[in-house]
Amino acid sequence: MDKIHGARIVVIGGGTGSFVVLSGLKNYTADLTALVSMADDGGSTGQLRDELGVLPPGDVRQCLVALSRSPRVRDLFNYRFDEGALEGHSFGNLFLAALEKLTGSFVEAIDLADEVLDVEGKVIPITLDSVSVCTDDGRKTLHHEHDIDGAKFHKLRPKLWLEPKPKANPSAIEAILAADIVVIAPGSIYTSLGPALAVPGVGKALRKTKAKKIYISNLVNKPGQTDNFAVHDYAAEIERLAGGEFLNYVIYNVHQPSKKLLENYAAEGELPVEIDAAALKNAHYKPKGAELLASEIWQSTNKKDPLASQRTLIRHDPDAVARAIMKIYFS
């Protein structure tokens, strides 16, 4: 397919999921916008938030890198120091933090980074307030993303909210309302997608927009949080966190990984997301199965990179995801 300049596509999420979707879609449309979750407070991002009082740069950096047309600069922004006082920090996170301190505005920091990275598209924080994600599963209340990430909900569906209560970034709401397609990227339900969908006004905009709303389902379940989730369970949880039904399509993978990879994941309690054909048939959205699994095994070469783990081996193929989305655009 050739690049369709008229397709206005908005991708909502954060981290690796948005990176994959944006990396594929940038080859098909010239009007691509990433709306980024702003509740990250772990690792390098958390340290910069605590010590410098800046907004979280990590997920914004990944989206900027995904949309960059400059391979050398992309590598620079993703470079992570593995020793000394800067150990664990990526250059891109430090760069964005420095720009925010220099300009006094996270939006201006992103605009300047756009120029350096030669970005094709836009990256917009879903809120400009400094927030933390909170959950309550009826047994315990948690107040930070890094705590929630390791929590075990044992089949419970936790309440999720942001503190302090934020205001949606008006530019993010405008992008949703003006879009032809809105994509909810794959990712962690409670630490990546939930914090974006829970921003007041976002769910309402998703229900109001005339765009085709698509969710890209995860490939594997997260132990302790989405055990035994099937595709329709993920879609239902996405809509619950957004405050109501809004999806028109759900795209899910039908290509099984190799037996060896499945065994590696099973050893960690991570199992492929099941497909309940009957539940999908009766859903209010249209289910679309496709072969979305990346054929190449990818793993970070940086041993201290948090992405350098077994879970990175089963990944969505960016082009396959983009093609599935564009088929819906043309339908």
Q: What share of the chain has pLDDT > 90, as a percent?
A: 82
DSSP 244-272: S---SEEEEE--PPPHHHHHHHHHTT--B
What's the first-to-final CA gap in the chain, in angstroms? Answer: 14
Cβ atoms of 172 and 126 within 8 Å: the answer is: yes
What's the CATH class of domain 8-330?
alpha beta
Coil, helix or strand at residue 2: coil
Q: Residue 306's pLDDT band (boundaries 50, 70, 90)?
A: very low
Q: How far apart are CA 172 and CA 292, in angstroms?
A: 28
Q: Where are the domains of the chain?
A: 8-330
Tell me phi and psi for residue 287, to 5 degrees: -80, 140
Mean pLDDT of 124-131: 97
Q: How far apart are CA 12 and CA 241, in angstroms?
A: 13
What is this structure's pTM?
0.93
Residue 310 has pLDDT above 60, yes or no: no
Which tokens belong to 31? 């009007």
What per-residue confidence (pLDDT) applies to 160? Answer: 98
Q: Regarding beta strands 141-142 and 132-136, do their DSSP bridges make them parallel or antiparallel, or are they unpaired?
A: antiparallel
Coil, helix or strand at residue 174: helix
Residue 201 has pLDDT above 50, yes or no: yes
- Alpha helical stretches, state H, the chain: 16-25, 43-52, 58-67, 71-78, 91-103, 106-117, 145-149, 170-178, 194-197, 202-208, 231-241, 259-267, 277-281, 318-330
Residue 298 has pLDDT above 70, yes or no: no
**pLDDT digits 0-9 by tens, 85-105:** 999 999 999 999 999 999 999
36, 55, 57, 83, 167 from 46: Cα distances, Å: 16, 9, 9, 18, 21
**pLDDT digits 0-9 by tens, 141-190:** 999 998 999 999 988 899 999 999 999 999 999 999 999 999 999 999 99
135, 156, 250 from 139: Cα distances, Å: 10, 10, 32
Cβ atoms of 213 and 11 within 8 Å: the answer is: no
